[in-house]
Structure 1
Amino acid sequence: MSDERRGYLYGLAAYVMWGFFPIYFKHLQPASALEILAHRVVWSVVFVTLLLAVLRNWRFLGRLLRTPKLLGGISIAAVLIGVNWATYIYGVNTDRVVETALGYFITPLVVVLLGVTVQGERLRPWQWIAVGVGAVAVAVLTIDYGRPPYIALLLAASFGTYSLVKKRMSLPPAEGLFVESSVLAVPALIFLAWLNIGGDAQFGHVSTTHTVLMVLSGLATAVPLLLFAGAANRVPMVGIGILQYVAPILQLACGLLIYHEPMPPARLAGFALVWVALIIFTVDALTRTRRERTAIGPAAATAEPIATLPPR
């Protein structure tokens, strides 16, 4: 098996796991979204600490402590990913799986907008068209829901901003997850202690299966992230960008086929417009990559990222 094909298998495995996250988090009820988030953070730290101990890879901590600016950036990234995780868990456990899927469908468009507004990047005409179609889709969905799809928008905005912050840093996935989770671990532990003192904690009081699943939430967070890292090192950027649509497609299928969430015609029209925008965006990226390869050769061509960071 070629290295690139192995990379695609790693990437597909990661996105399939993320795609079925709604089923996992549904099984963590009746714990609240914040209790689930706190345990996810704490057990992520535990698991990644064990992994790094086995690999004996702690040198990055010295670099981190010598670079306050990097530490500050990671702290911001930690808050953003915490908001993203909490929003996702809340959406899933309040029967809005379809809306969470929408959030990850529109994330690439938000990343592009952030590139323009924050990075000062210039969009090509077809990219502007894709963003415009995406904006119309959000308007249609706002009319359908009777409110802005705020869970989807918050997911896209938090992850898009997280992507922007992470782009300026260079920590590998395991080390990045360790530091980000560690930043969140202190407030998470304080919150869990408060829940236990008040007698409101569900952890350890529902069933053995529930307790085990809560503990394994750290493993469930880290494993697809590490698989994604293996894919990112082997697969072209456009390949990763196309693979990323597997997760929200599976999440949408979970919402519709397993949890039977409604999909009225107006909502379907809104999703259809989002898919049109993504098709335009993806075809434009593929066309540009093909032209670059023709002009300067495949070895020198670099594919434009559609979205190059993992969703959760």
Structure 2
Amino acid sequence: MVTTTSHATDRVSPSGLGFAVSAYVLWGAMPIVFFSLKESGAIEIVAWRIVLSLVFCAALLLVTRGYVRVLVIIRDRKTFWSLGLAGVLVVINWLIYVYASLNGHIVEASLGYFTNPIVTVLLGVIILRERLRPLQWVALGISALAVLVLAIGYGSFPWIALGLAFSFGLYGLVKKSVGPKADALGGLAVETAFLTPIAIVVLLVLSANGTLSVGSVSTGHTVLTLFLGAITAIPLILFAAAARRLPLTYMGLAQYLAPILQLVVGVFVFHEAMPPERWLGFAIVWVALAILTFDLFRHSSRIRLGSPSDAPGAP
């Protein structure tokens, strides 16, 4: 998964909404795909995902002649190494997410993506020294309370949720630093290219040990594995198309579709437990998100009115 980017217009495009909904629905359904490959294990799934994403991106770049943009990225050392760091962060995110999907923690993974917007605000304060508005501070405080409730009620620290939220939040900050210098497809190609040699070594070791699942489970398993590159890249391409057509506020609302679907999949498809204390923790997080979303819409409205005291970055 990627973070939202700013948008120059407030016009709502029907096609943009369609692209956004499609992207987040596909992301929300991914636990079903990963669970279908459970014989592979998280490490093999992520290794195939890296290699096949690069193959899929390379094919698209060749067809669209987008390789010229990749050459420009490679020549820019700062952008190139930033995308390398982004690749490491996104693979950490993938490993945690696939592990959660295979081991009965889909509900906790959904909590991670519900929490991500709040963690992104927190990282902005810590790393970018951004000044928060009062309602943003309120949302952060309520989120901290939610983590405490979940930790006490769940009996353990929600490391999967916070690991997903922080790895994805840091990934978003790195991608924000790159900005328009790397498009979605070219950026993903460079990110996966950094990690492909390691992924290939992992697959070779698994093959040498006789534990490589591809080709040994079933034809359907092998075919689904070979589609991991497309499954990874297509939602990203849809997301990029939506981000160019929708205002930031609408993209911010659309991002909740994926964790909502993950929660539904975890509870109703895989029948994961949802005791009262977990519902309470989720409810507290949703209150924090409602406050954060209200503040985002209010702040965006003030910017559109042109109030100089409410320019971006103002408290």
| TM-score for both structures, normalised by structure 1 | 0.93
Residues in 1 aligned to 2:123 and 2:250: alpha-carbon distance in whole angstroms: 22
Asked whether 1:250 is paired with 2:255, we answer no
Give per-residue Cα distances to partners, 1:99-140, cap 9 Å, x unaligned. Answer: 000000000011001100110100000000001000100011
The Cα of 1:20 is off from its aligned counterpart by: 0.7
Letter in 1 for 2:286: W
Q: 1:75 to 1:264 in 2, by over 3 A?
A: same
Residues in 1 aligned to 2:90 and 2:190: alpha-carbon distance in whole angstroms: 12
Q: Which runs of no fewer than 5 residues in structure 2 stay unpaired?
A: 1-10
Residues in 1 aligned to 2:232 and 2:311: alpha-carbon distance in whole angstroms: 29
Residues in 2 aligned to 1:303 and 1:259: alpha-carbon distance in whole angstroms: 43
Residues in 2 aligned to 1:134 and 1:173: alpha-carbon distance in whole angstroms: 30
1:288 to 299, 304, 307: 299
Residues 201-280 of structure 1 mapped to structure 2, 5 A cutoff? 201-280=212-291
Identical aligned residues as a percent: 45
* Residue aligning to 1:97: 106
Residues in 2 aligned to 1:62 and 1:214: alpha-carbon distance in whole angstroms: 29
Residues in 1 aligned to 2:109 and 2:164: alpha-carbon distance in whole angstroms: 7
Letter in 2 for 1:239: Y
Residues 153-168 of structure 1 mapped to structure 2, 5 A cutoff? 153-168=162-177
* Residue aligning to 1:140: 149
Equivalenced residue count is: 300
SS of the equivalent of 1:31 reads coil
Give per-residue Cα distances to partners, 1:171-198, cap 9 Å, x unaligned. Answer: 1110011111111111000000000011
Asked whether 1:28 is paired with 2:41, we answer no
Letter in 2 for 1:102: L
Give per-residue Cα distances to partners, 1:41-75, cap 9 Å, x unaligned. Answer: 11111111110000112122332332222221111
Letter in 1 for 2:46: L
The Cα of 1:302 is off from its aligned counterpart by: 9.1
Q: Which runs of no fewer than 5 residues in structure 1 stay unpaired?
A: 305-312
Judge conservation of contact 2:57–2:189 (CA < 8 Å) in 1: yes
The Cα of 1:253 is off from its aligned counterpart by: 0.3
Letter in 1 for 2:237: L
The Cα of 1:3 is off from its aligned counterpart by: 7.3
Residues in 1 aligned to 2:256 and 2:70: alpha-carbon distance in whole angstroms: 34
Residues in 2 aligned to 1:179 and 1:164: alpha-carbon distance in whole angstroms: 17
* Residue aligning to 2:67: 58
The Cα of 1:32 is off from its aligned counterpart by: 0.8
Residues in 1 aligned to 2:25 and 2:167: alpha-carbon distance in whole angstroms: 22
Give per-residue Cα distances to partners, 1:10-39, cap 9 Å, x unaligned. Answer: 000100111111111110111110000000
Moved over 4 A (4+): 301-304
Say what the alpha-carbon RMSD is for the aligned residues: 1.7
Residues in 1 aligned to 2:62 and 2:85: alpha-carbon distance in whole angstroms: 26
| TM-score for both structures, normalised by structure 2 | 0.92
The Cα of 1:303 is off from its aligned counterpart by: 8.8
Judge conservation of contact 1:41–1:188 (CA < 8 Å) in 2: yes
Residues in 2 aligned to 1:186 and 1:67: alpha-carbon distance in whole angstroms: 22
Residues in 1 aligned to 2:237 and 2:107: alpha-carbon distance in whole angstroms: 26
Residues in 1 aligned to 2:198 and 2:114: alpha-carbon distance in whole angstroms: 31
Judge conservation of contact 2:73–2:182 (CA < 8 Å) in 1: no
Comparing 257-266 with 53-62, greater Cα deviation is found at 53-62
